[in-house]
Structure 1
Amino acid sequence: MKKFPSLKNHMLIAMPALQDFNFKHSVTLICEHNEDGAMGIVINHPLDFATYELLEHMDIPCAEHRNINPVFAGGPVQVDRGFVIHRAEQLWKSSIALENNVAVTTSLDVLHAIGRHEIGSDAFVALGYAGWEAGQLEQEIIDNVWLTVPINSEIIFSTDIDKRWEKAVSLLGFDAQNLSNFSGHA
């Protein structure tokens, strides 16, 4: 199989033909990608409850309900595991700093900081993640399941959730309506 460069610090854009409800029109932030596989978090599939509701459920004090960001379905693997995607201006106990001022944290201290409003609206929680075995993501890219673009903090933090897929596609220089379900291979 062809060796691919690491896609860590990239976003995957689901092609229109991908109909799996976990990934349909998804944008996935790739947090790790190496010879053992890949791990990413879907950043545009909101669940029907807000961050403050999750904090209350976890008995984490929340001063006010100012953080009404939705909790996201981060992927189908370990859906009971939470990830906080936030700006990397401050890192926490288990933060992974990505490019373009983006970080992912899994420790409880960041959730307490959200409850105390020490982190602004540029932070959201995702439950679960997407995982690929060694070579699986590379094959899916060859099979025209995904497009890739470098990580973009504007899409992650400043673009309306329902516009993130279209905005990510536009980074490639064309309109999402022009995407085809077919690809050519030379």
Structure 2
Amino acid sequence: MDYFHSKQKFNPEKGDVLISEPYLPDPNFERTVVLICEHDENGTFGYVLNKPSNALVEEVVEQISDFKEKLFIGGPVQQDTLHFIHRDPESMPTGKPVGGGIYWGGDYDQLLSMIDLKQINPSNYRFILGYSGWAAGQLEEELEAKSWIVCKGISASRVFDVDESLLWKDILESLGGKFKMFANYPADPNMN
């Protein structure tokens, strides 16, 4: 996995991930991994991958019952909206490819039907409330401020198979060097 840090001029792309610096002061993004789903001249849009909520899908979506899957907080924007990513293009062909075998969204009515008929493998889906968004140029400013490490691409297996509580550390360790050291920084520097 390649990475880019603030000394390198780099334009993030769809399918890349943003890894927050260990002491990013924004509580919305503390030790987060954000999948970039869109990045163009209008701005950037993506989902935090490793921030589970305290709710289950069936507790939030009226049309869904008997579906005990976690909901994740995708970011601070519009947390009253439900989104999903998946690695199931055969069953959900209307999803938009993001990269690395990951797809964003698809036919919502089809998703509800698949859940109702128990035709869905939950390990291939992640359900998300809200999203992360940056206006044009805003993410680039945050990259200049060294708030994020940009990693080129991420695989579906890393997103869906690595426990979300370990994902931030797992990706940093895979980058090696100083990033491996970042992965071991204590969450509270006063505890060092």
Q: TM-score, normalised by structure 2?
A: 0.80
- C-alpha distance in 2 between matches for 1:171 and 1:152: 13
Task: Specify the alignment match of 2:146 in structure 1.
Answer: 144
Q: Does 2:69 correspond to 1:59?
A: no
1:20-169 equivalences in 2 (<5 Å): 20-55=26-61, 58-60=62-64, 62=65, 64-65=66-67, 68-90=68-90, 92=92, 95-105=95-105, 107-109=107-109, 110-120=111-121, 121-149=123-151, 150-169=153-172
Residue in structure 1 matching 2:184, options 162, 168, 177? 177
Question: How far does residue 119 in structure 1 lie from its aligned partner after superposition?
Answer: 2.2
Q: Does 2:16 correspond to 1:10?
A: yes
Q: Deviations over 1:129-173 (max 9, x none)?
A: 010011111111111100111222222100111101101212312
Q: TM-score, normalised by structure 1?
A: 0.82
Relative distance call for 1:168 and 1:100 in structure 2 (3 A) is: same
- Is the partner of 1:7 in helix, strand or coil? coil
Question: How far does residue 89 in structure 1 lie from its aligned partner after superposition?
Answer: 2.5
Contact 1:45 / 1:74 at 8 angstroms: preserved in 2? yes
Identical-residue share of aligned pairs (%): 34
- Is the partner of 1:9 in helix, strand or coil? coil
Question: How far does residue 41 in structure 1 lie from its aligned partner after superposition?
Answer: 0.4
Contact 1:8 / 1:33 at 8 angstroms: preserved in 2? yes
Task: Specify the alignment match of 2:4 in structure 1.
Answer: none
Contact 2:88 / 2:124 at 8 angstroms: preserved in 1? no
- Is the partner of 2:175 in helix, strand or coil? coil
Relative distance call for 1:142 and 1:154 in structure 2 (3 A) is: same
- Is the partner of 1:22 in helix, strand or coil? helix
- C-alpha distance in 2 between matches for 1:142 and 1:15: 12
Question: How far does residue 114 in structure 1 lie from its aligned partner after superposition?
Answer: 2.9
Q: Please tell me the residue identity of whatever aligns with 1:165.
A: W
- C-alpha distance in 1 between matches for 2:12 and 2:169: 24
- Is the partner of 1:52 in helix, strand or coil? helix
Q: Deviations over 1:65-118 (max 9, x none)?
A: 4xx331011111111111111104336475211111111106422233234332
- C-alpha distance in 2 between matches for 1:137 and 1:17: 17
- Range that drifts further, 85-94 or 95-104: 85-94
Question: How far does residue 40 in structure 1 lie from its aligned partner after superposition?
Answer: 0.7
Gaps of 5+ in 1: 180-186
Relative distance call for 1:171 and 1:91 in structure 2 (3 A) is: farther
Count of residues in Structure 1 that have an aligned counterpart in Structure 2 = 172
Question: How far does residue 38 in structure 1 lie from its aligned partner after superposition?
Answer: 0.2
Contact 1:88 / 1:97 at 8 angstroms: preserved in 2? no
Contact 2:74 / 2:130 at 8 angstroms: preserved in 1? yes
